[in-house]
Structure 1
Amino acid sequence: MTPDPRLLQMTLPQIQALRAREWGDRRPALREKEFGVWQEVSWGRFEALSRAAGMGFRALGLQPGEKVAVLADNIPEWFYTELGVQAVGGVVVGVYSSSVPREVAYSIQASDAVYAVAEDQEQVDKLLEVRREIPAVRRVIFEDPRGLRAYRSDPWLLSFEELLDLGRKEDAAQPGLFDDLRRKGDPGDVAVFCFSSGTTDLPKPVMLTHRNLVSMGYHFTAIEGFRPTDDYLSFLPLAWIGEQMMAVSTGLVAGFTVNCPEEVETVDHDRREIGPHLIFSPPRVWEAYVRQIRVKVEDSTRLKHWFFAVGMRVGERAADHRFQKRPLPWYLWLAHRFFRLTLYRLVQDRLGFLRLRKAYTAGAALGPDVFRFFHALGVNLKQGYGQTEAAGIFCFHRDDDVAFDTVGIPYPGAEVRISDEGEVLVRADSVCRGYHGREEESRELLEGGWLHSGDAGYLDERGHLVIIDRLRDVMRTASGAVFSPQFIENKLKFSHFIREAVVFGNELPYIAALVNIDPATVGKWAEDRKLTYTTYLDLSQKEPVARLIREEVERANATLKPEHRIRRFALLYKLLDADDEELTRTGKVRRGLIGERYRTLFHALYDGSSQVDVRVAYTYQDGRTAEMELAVPIWTVGDEALEVTSPGLPAAARG
């Protein structure tokens, strides 16, 4: 589909109104699974409910430019709120539903939100807990009334149905007002605040205009050929720019149907039912799919295990021929066709990918091993690159031009250049206005008229952009070997036994890592070998588990240059967690904080210790806390002698 260029001069609500006039009740805009049944919302009803929501906020007193925070999973009411609020001149602020109360308070304070929409009792309770810290919030609107009967006497709270009723009455009392307000909307108006990832600092509210979002969606649709008949499953947080990019801006421009799963826990089942044509996920989701497939294979018979291994080798060879634009030899063509019928389609069906035409990943680097794995299965997976400050992605692979080691080429109108320091700079209509309330940081971000990405990269001879790592994270060992910790971490995470890894080595004699085992796959491995354990902590410190992970580290090392190989590692006794601020809400590692928090382990990786005593604090489900002493072994990989040192502050490992 080639979108109408006139869309570039419209706001998101204006495009919604256009779609409602074009398709009315003939096509579904949204679909939600409720009580096991998929419920459709037509484009006409989508517009009507957005109108009621927008006029409801108008009746409550929302003024142009004021902000409405939304704390919810992917439910239709988020879309009604977003398009309705924008139509009357307001701005929507996405807040991750997984946020803890202090993070919710920070998001509302940093964005100056004056209203909040909360999905259910869990989200309402977070707002009530920090009520004194967010005095600017006038009302809280809740969508799901279950468990909130005792709260109804609180005038601060209002149900979403009451908001819609209020909006319908306001629309009837002032006919034409909503249409006038929507028509007066300007593409340069701020539409959404999405928060930056916050890997080294508190997340910052990024001001994204309608022009930013529509421009990105327009070019993405024009190049990739999205169709109004496509189905897209929206299961990633709408507070994340990646989901805003796909489900809202690209969804409106292309006109495809956005499907909302019943629950977070039912996403896999719902995906198989819908059979989406389009999927967009960050690397952690694709890595999880690989683990899921490999666990199934490990749990099968030796014959099936052998059959899968042979089929994947054939798939990888065929994929390499396609990427190099070489025809398949007749024998490879026959073998590939055989495995496509007997293996690849079966795995695709298991994942819900049988109708899949386009699959994308962005948000962080995807390891080339994971990339090759899916292309071997026949999944059209492509890498994109961008950031919140650019309304999503501005570089991505084309169908006939995929390379594992790049993130593709910019879309038309987006300029990319590399600074003298090696930083990726971009200039495009999708580049944001800056950070709300942070003028100095905004000037630094947009210095010289270019968006300073903070990423190190280069343009190769084909014009493809290659991302090395975050500029501040590119490291150099004491011997001068330059390396990307993220690249090495991705090599480790290709193992289905490893959930997360954090690599160190800046200005140090060698590279070392802290590793999180995957509790599901390692737990199954342990059970198969009758290795008993009680908790994650207990499992992670078992010697057989450490030997298993050492084999996985050695396997990853075999694919790395000698100077980039991991020489020492320790198994972390707890999973890294966003609630503990060790990961961002999008799953990115906060390397500096981890180095500081686990400084005892960090030092032991380099001072020659064979084990180190640590004091572990843990919390019971009833809220009680306790501490215990734990001896954590430090494991060495390889036989070469290591230089022992006493590193300084762990933060030095950040680069």
Structure 2
Amino acid sequence: MQTTFPQLLQAHAKERPNDAAMREKEYGIWQTLSWKDMAELVKSIACGLHQAGLHRGEHMIVIGANRPRLYATMLAAQSLGAIPVPLYQDAVAAECVFPINNADVRFAVVEDQEQVDKMLEIQPDCPQLQHIYYDDPRGLRNYDHEGLAGLEELVAAGHAFSQAHPDFFQEEIDKAQPDDVAAMFFTSGTTGNPKGVVHTHATLIDRARAGVSFDKLSSHEEVLAYLPPAWIGQNIFSYSQWLVAGYVVNCPESGSTVGIDLNEVGPTYYFAPPRVFEGMLTSVMIRMEDASAIKRKIFHTFMDLAKRVGPARMDGKSIGFMDGIKYALGNFLVYGPLRNTLGFSRVRVAYTAGEAIGPDLFTFYRSIGINLKQLYGSTETAVFVCLQPDHEVHADTVGVPCDGVEIKLADNGEILVRSPGLLKEYYKNPKATEEVLTGDGWYHTSDAGFIDNNGHLKIIDRVKDVGRLQGGAHDGAMFAPKYVENKLKFFSHIKEAVALGDGREKVCVMINIDFAAVGNWAERRNLPYAGYTDLASKPEVYDLIKDCVEKVNADLSQDSMLAGSQISRFLVLHKELDADDGELTRTNKVRRGFISDKYGVLVDALYGGKSEQYIETQVKFEDGRTGSVSATLQIQDAKTFAPVKAAA
């Protein structure tokens, strides 16, 4: 059995050399790279990197979108025993300094001019960064910096070297062992500097095989790779599992063409964080609001049916003869066309992960016949810890432990995991490694949860975020901010939410509206607005958001454990939360502590009983310039509901 990624590549190239390995859309046309082509490309790049001085055990950063030659570069580095370190392509230049210096990086392979400019900008802070190679030469013709070259030059030099030394490449691959380090992924760094998570060939391949076996994946799957390769979720699905299962990975032309490319590819295996599914649902609802009255009536009638019987049907349960007939008609008129519009006509398995997905959002996709499931894992566990089996899918759980995984709960409710896919260590950070890995191999996830009666894992929140209300009518009640935030984000008009309440007498939230959805809503009501800040301050928009908040409160009142987490007061923020402003991580997770400090004046106003508060906030624009946004924000009370007592 092949035990390293280069060995897996060679096996595919030998067994089915002419089958498609990857496709890339360029100038509107899909270009196919066979397994044989990929193996030859990896060989040339590896030999070129060797000639340039890349050593075994050395780190090499890779920055860019999903591109076949960047994937080939990672394989080439692994063939030499070097360690690829993918970084986020949308990170600003300064964010790359710590990973590069932490990992003593001398080699960088990047996608295009934008990434080259970042590397050149930070070179004074990273003097050891000597070699920068780029894939896309557009805009770089007149660059003459020392150590800067195109990937084409590297490939040509490597090809000549391999011709002169025909045994070199295979000898290097044969030196590799499964316990050698295969890759390093930097965490999103919600607090302090990011940590380098070290994974071996064995850990990544084992978890990839577990996922492939669980969902019976084969070489016939089609995958669309459009999320950042630096996120281990994308890396597992379009790299580790790609090499284990041998399916086809399709790379879209650009971020703006993903929707079109999704429809053209028609993936059978799909993966996205909740935010992507939220965005898709928002676009559907916007389009439906613009449709004719009869189309809206048909849509809502059949969606009501789908919500009632669709999830049971997906779970293989009987829904009755008449409902079956009605659902079949709905499938012809609504669900089928909707799946086709979303690009999900051929999806056999779809997963969401990264953070919890709202139950209503999750149910929507399953109700229209999309086999959307949840999984649980992290960078440190090589993703696969729990998976939802077909016909055993629950909106409020993340599935059962997959092959090789053991789970137990600490006294404080923290989930501990033991698995063949655990990280080797945090790079150059033994203290952090000791904090998360016990001597007998258990990993501290920092997540709070429990195993339900069906053996499924249920996540409540991060251990450090689960709190208690103090004082007031709900003194001592549990407060789970992420749970509250996810319920709010199901509504298409709400893009992001930050819930506050630990150690306080009530829960308050700060909300980001979804500019596209609310803008469309406003235009249909002839409500004029001049940009995000103006729209967010409209009294009509506050009424819209208040209705969403109170619906969440009504839902929370049904849960005996979380009824105290109902939202008492809220405001709509004057700007969108942004990773460039430090408010979100690069994986779009809310940095709640940072936001609480940054918007301290708003927090004080929420809890101080004020009805409005002026604030001025510095923002960073895409071109690197800074500016400020100011506004007087309205603060409103929301209706709360008496907890519903369980029947005796």
Displacement of 1:627? 4.8
1:338 is the counterpart of 2:334: no
Q: Percent identity?
A: 40
CA contact (8 A) 1:567 1:637 kept: yes
Residue of structure 1 equivalent to 2:401 = 410
My pick for the range that moved more, 262-271 or 293-302, is 293-302
CA contact (8 A) 2:187 2:197 kept: yes
Residue of structure 1 equivalent to 2:636 = 635
SS at match of 1:14: helix
Residue of structure 2 equivalent to 1:317 = 308
Residue of structure 2 equivalent to 1:502 = 498
Q: How does 1:68-467 map to 2 (within 5 A)?
A: 68-151=60-143, 153-322=144-313, 326-448=317-439, 449-467=441-459
Displacement of 1:434? 1.2
SS at match of 2:384: strand
Whole-angstrom CA distance in 1 between matches of 2:414 and 2:521? 43
Residue of structure 2 equivalent to 1:13 = 6
Whole-angstrom CA distance in 2 between matches of 1:639 and 1:403? 27
RMSD: 1.6
Residue of structure 2 equivalent to 1:22 = 15
Whole-angstrom CA distance in 1 between matches of 2:93 and 2:626? 20
Displacement of 1:318? 1.6
Instruction: Give, as a single letter, the amino acid of the residue that structure 1 aligns with 2:538.
Output: K
Residue of structure 1 equivalent to 2:30 = 38
My pick for the range that moved more, 590-599 or 411-420, is 411-420
CA contact (8 A) 1:362 1:393 kept: no
SS at match of 2:397: coil
SS at match of 2:556: coil
Whole-angstrom CA distance in 1 between matches of 2:75 and 2:419? 24
1:611 is the counterpart of 2:604: no
SS at match of 1:613: strand
Displacement of 1:75? 0.7
What are the Cα deviations for residues 206-231 of structure 1, in whole angstroms up to 9, with x where unaligned?
00110111001111111111121111
Residue of structure 2 equivalent to 1:480 = 476
1:564 is the counterpart of 2:565: yes
Instruction: Give, as a single letter, the amino acid of the residue that structure 1 aligns with 2:6.
Output: P
Displacement of 1:483? 2.5
My pick for the range that moved more, 611-620 or 56-65, is 611-620
My pick for the range that moved more, 536-545 or 237-246, is 536-545
Instruction: Give, as a single letter, the amino acid of the residue that structure 2 aligns with 1:18.
Output: A
SS at match of 2:328: helix
SS at match of 1:332: helix
Residue of structure 2 equivalent to 1:648 = none
Q: CA separation of 1:534/1:256 partners in 2, compared to 1, >3 Å: closer, same or farther?
A: same
Instruction: Give, as a single letter, the amino acid of the residue that structure 1 aligns with 2:482.
Output: Q
Report how many aligned residue pairs link the two structures. 632
Displacement of 1:522? 0.7
CA contact (8 A) 1:93 1:113 kept: no
Displacement of 1:313? 1.8
Residue of structure 1 equivalent to 2:600 = 599
Q: CA separation of 1:487/1:628 partners in 2, compared to 1, >3 Å: closer, same or farther?
A: closer
Residue of structure 2 equivalent to 1:644 = none
Displacement of 1:113? 1.7
Residue of structure 1 equivalent to 2:646 = none
My pick for the range that moved more, 67-76 or 294-303, is 294-303
My pick for the range that moved more, 592-601 or 281-290, is 281-290
Displacement of 1:441? 0.6
My pick for the range that moved more, 27-36 or 474-483, is 474-483
Which consecutive residues of structure 1, in runs of 5 or more, have no partner in the other structure?
1-5, 642-655
SS at match of 2:219: coil
Q: CA separation of 1:609/1:198 partners in 2, compared to 1, >3 Å: closer, same or farther?
A: same
CA contact (8 A) 1:323 1:401 kept: no
My pick for the range that moved more, 323-332 or 141-150, is 323-332
Whole-angstrom CA distance in 2 between matches of 1:133 and 1:308? 57
Whole-angstrom CA distance in 2 between matches of 1:302 and 1:460? 44
Q: 2:529 aligns with which of 523, 527, 533?
A: 533
SS at match of 1:303: helix
SS at match of 1:54: helix
SS at match of 1:579: helix
Q: CA separation of 1:215/1:627 partners in 2, compared to 1, >3 Å: closer, same or farther?
A: closer
CA contact (8 A) 2:306 2:327 kept: yes
Whole-angstrom CA distance in 2 between matches of 1:136 and 1:619? 29
My pick for the range that moved more, 475-484 or 63-72, is 475-484
Q: CA separation of 1:528/1:231 partners in 2, compared to 1, >3 Å: closer, same or farther?
A: same
Residue of structure 2 equivalent to 1:587 = 588
1:545 is the counterpart of 2:536: no
Instruction: Give, as a single letter, the amino acid of the residue that structure 2 aligns with 1:583.
Output: L
What are the Cα deviations for residues 133-179 of structure 1, in whole angstroms up to 9, with x where unaligned?
1112120001111111221x222201100010111122122211110
Displacement of 1:616? 3.5
Taking structure 2 as the reference length, what is the TM-score of the superposition? 0.95
Instruction: Give, as a single letter, the amino acid of the residue that structure 1 aligns with 2:514.
Output: D
Displacement of 1:536? 0.9
SS at match of 1:559: helix
Which consecutive residues of structure 2, in runs of 5 or more, have no partner in the other structure?
558-562, 643-648
Q: How does 1:511-522 map to 2 (within 5 A)?
A: 511-522=507-518
Q: CA separation of 1:575/1:538 partners in 2, compared to 1, >3 Å: closer, same or farther?
A: same
Q: CA separation of 1:336/1:537 partners in 2, compared to 1, >3 Å: closer, same or farther?
A: same
Q: CA separation of 1:621/1:209 partners in 2, compared to 1, >3 Å: closer, same or farther?
A: closer
Whole-angstrom CA distance in 1 between matches of 2:568 and 2:138? 53
Displacement of 1:110? 2.3
Whole-angstrom CA distance in 2 between matches of 1:617 and 1:303? 47
SS at match of 1:347: helix
Taking structure 1 as the reference length, what is the TM-score of the superposition? 0.94
SS at match of 1:589: coil
Whole-angstrom CA distance in 2 between matches of 1:164 and 1:339? 53
